[in-house]
Structure 1
Amino acid sequence: MKVEVSAEMHSVCPVFVGACITANIKNTEYSAELWREIDALSEEYRATLTTESLKQMESIQATRRIYKLCGKDPSRYRPSGEALVRRVLQGKQLYQIDTLVDLINLASMKHGYSIGAFDADHFSGNTLILGIGREGEPYEGIGRGMINIAGLPVYRDEIGGVGTPTSDHERTKVSVGTTNLLVLVNGYDGNEQGVRDTAEFIIELLDKYCEATDSSYTLYK
């Protein structure tokens, strides 16, 4: 799968750098060992962060800034990296979905980037393009129903939108049966090393918890 950044996205975020991770995996419903890692990070954040100070994380701050530049209120349509950390700081448990989704949430919490995970067998075509959502553009967020993505960064395949930093699309969502995985790390802060570190951390988690084979990543700008 080829991933491209559109001219309209470059105009609001010329420093953007992303990572595209691919792997063959075996997903499971639950991993107790993974959840020990999630709980440990949650406790660390509760001891060191507040809902205000987390906004100063470079990766989260940059994503919020791009939302505003694209025309979206980041406090109403929160990027996933921020939303996950806010939830644990409020004393709430993260939703347990399945091992793959849970480990992506861990990576997003740890590094602050909004990360999309997709079942690559459900894409249409061989190219994803990162652009900006339009008024009236249909989009069914996972577990959210139809949502307004006008002003949100959005990846599109031949059919339409598949992922935003707020919510990915029902059509390409991962499940316990997913074997052909594609993950996108969104670096609106332009921090190439931070994006690389996040991609490598995800591959480590996939190897550890999802029996990953043929895992690799490439950067795109």
Structure 2
Amino acid sequence: MQFKVTEEFWQLFPEAEIFLLTIDGLDNSPVEEWQDKADKMLKSAARDGLEFVPNEPISKNPVVEQWREAFRQFKTKKGARSSIEALLKRVQKGSPVNSINPLVDLYNMVSMRHAVPVGSEDLAKVSGDIRLDVAEGGESFLPLGAEEDSPSLPGEVGYFDNDGAICRCFNWREAQRTMITEETETAVIVIEAINDEQKERAQEAQNELADLLAEHLDVTASNHHLTVENPYVDLNNEA
């Protein structure tokens, strides 16, 4: 299995960089004391995230402005926003980011703390390679919480495998098919950056998340860094 970023994507975002972590042997079922621990850690990360959204409305903050501008470079479903905007909007309003499961909680923490989009896929549920690509249109996609297919739009940027879209509009909306659950044992985690400032924060997020995974879930992550000069990685022996 490869994770690759296509030439069509680089034509839109030649300066982008994608930071990956792959893990295997994960026990993602929360232990009894995880909920209280996660709640405290998520609240702490939310306080750190406030640094990035001092201005109202939220669109007036550089992190949000940068991602909205990126989304204007390709076709999107109306209302699509980067996942980091959704998290920081909750942070700004003081709304809690609730615990979901240990892996998702940990990557939400670093996402808020470093103001970068972070998402993950269950590698056991992926069909073939993963591609960060520009959609032809019509790729099958069943989003979280939905009962009907919501195919990708022509020209839309997202993540795909042999069976369709697995995450639409960068890290906006996740597919049910490859979502992280308490049964997930092997996963790839994706951190996105589209400018130099974001790249620095994404690198910090990658390093911190590797430490958190080792500390709290007792798994060792393999870290990867994809650029226009280094557009793919073989995951077969990495997770």
Question: Into which bin does the TM-score normalised by the smaller protein fall?
Answer: 0.7 to 0.9
Q: Are the counterparts in 2 of residues 13 and 188 from structure 1 also a CA contact under 8 Å?
A: yes
Number of the residue aligned with 1:136: 138
Does the residue aligned with 1:35 lie in a helix, a strand or coil?
helix
Q: Are the counterparts in 2 of residues 31 and 209 from structure 1 also a CA contact under 8 Å?
A: no
For 1:88 and 1:168, the matched residues in 2 are separated by 21
Number of the residue aligned with 1:156: 160
Q: Are the counterparts in 2 of residues 3 and 20 from structure 1 also a CA contact under 8 Å?
A: no
What is the deviation of 1:166?
A: 0.6
Change (3 A) 1:69 1:219: same
- 1:26 partner amino acid: D
- Structure 2's unaligned 5+ residue stretches are 228-239
TM-score after normalising by structure 1: 0.86
Q: Does 1:34 align with 2:54?
A: no
For 1:87 and 1:55, the matched residues in 2 are separated by 15
Give RMSD over aligned pairs.
2.4
Pick aligned residue for 1:124 from 107, 122, 127:
127
Post-superposition, which runs of at least 4 consecutive aligned residues in structure 1 deviate over 6 A?
Answer: none
For 2:104 and 2:56, the matched residues in 1 are separated by 23
How many residue pairs align between the two structures? 217
Pick aligned residue for 1:49 from 39, 45, 54:
54
Number of the residue aligned with 2:85: 82
Pick aligned residue for 2:184 from 178, 193, 198:
178
What is the deviation of 1:51?
A: 4.6
What is the deviation of 1:184?
A: 1.0
- Structure 1's unaligned 5+ residue stretches are none
Cα displacement string for residues 141-188 of structure 1 (whole angstroms, at most 9, x for unaligned residues): 122454454254211112221123111211111111111121111112
TM-score after normalising by structure 2: 0.80
What is the deviation of 1:53?
A: 5.2
Cα displacement string for residues 26-59 of structure 1 (whole angstroms, at most 9, x for unaligned residues): 213344223212112324545862453575344x
Number of the residue aligned with 2:20: 20
